[in-house]
Amino acid sequence: MMRTVTGLFDDYSDASTAVSALESAGVSSGDISIVSNNVDKRHGNQSNAAAGAGTGAGIGAVVGGAGGLLTGLGLMAIPGVGPVVAAGWLAATAAGAAAGAVAGGAAGGIIGALTSSGVSESDAHVYAEGIRRGGTLVTAKVDDAQAPEAEAILKRSNWVDPVERRRAYEEQGWTRFDDTLDPYDAEQIERERLRYHRPGI
């Protein structure tokens, strides 16, 4: 049976390290997904695929290059999150859900994509908000037997504890991800990064 393991990262480099470690551990690139906030256009020249993909374009065509997941990053927009670079099954699911969403219907594409893959709704809201505030989400579908190793890889790569982050968000008056809110701008994201930055790590 397959399980979904998920990690939120404040730093894109930690997330990309986690993706590479998952691939090295034998998790297929097709079973890994990455979604990273790109408001500050850090990843604009990440790859030819990313440069060629228009915002809102389907992700499927640029996923799964010969060099692993990270060579297939494409640009898209997620309601309430803004521009992201993304690759993998979660990105394709979120893009499809967002394109097919009816106003007032199901929660944003990213929430639906996460919950349908087995992530709790509570955690899905924290993860979506984390991306909105400048973070990067790594998700992998793995066999039950491989799940403990995959989770350990994510934790070793400086993942964000979703319970602690939920508490931090709630202290600021947050209750849940709201895709009708404006995405964070680069200045707000920088403030968020400084808030959670751990010196010396």
User: The pTM is what?
Assistant: 0.81
Is 160 a domain residue? Answer: yes
Is 181 a domain residue? Answer: yes
Is 77 a domain residue? Answer: yes
How many angstroms separate the CA atoms of 121 and 151, rounded?
19
| Strands of the chain, DSSP E | 2-9, 32-37, 74-78, 82-87, 136-143
Q: How many domains does the chain have?
A: 1
Is 66 a domain residue? Answer: yes
pLDDT digits (tens, 9 = 90+) for 72-100: 788 887 778 888 888 888 877 766 655 54
Is 201 a domain residue? Answer: no
Is 177 a domain residue? Answer: yes
Q: Single out the residue of 101, 156, 108 nearest to residue 131, CA to CA.
A: 108
- Predicted pLDDT of residue 199: 60
The torsion angles phi and psi of 86, rounded to 5 degrees, stand at -150, 155
How many Cα atoms occupy the beta-carbon half-sphere of 33 within 13 Å? 25
SS in 3 state form for 38-86?
CCCCCCCCCCHHHHHCCCCCCCHHHCCCCCCHHHHCEEEEECCCEEEEE
Structural domain boundaries, residue 169: 2-196
How many angstroms separate the CA atoms of 86 and 58, rounded?
11
Residue 167 host element (H or E) = helix 162-171
Per-residue pLDDT in tens (0 to 9) along the chain, 201 residues: 889 999 999 999 999 999 999 999 999 988 999 999 988 776 654 433 333 333 333 333 333 334 577 767 888 877 788 888 888 888 777 666 555 443 333 345 788 889 988 899 999 999 999 999 999 999 999 999 999 999 999 999 999 999 999 999 999 999 999 988 889 999 999 999 888 876 654
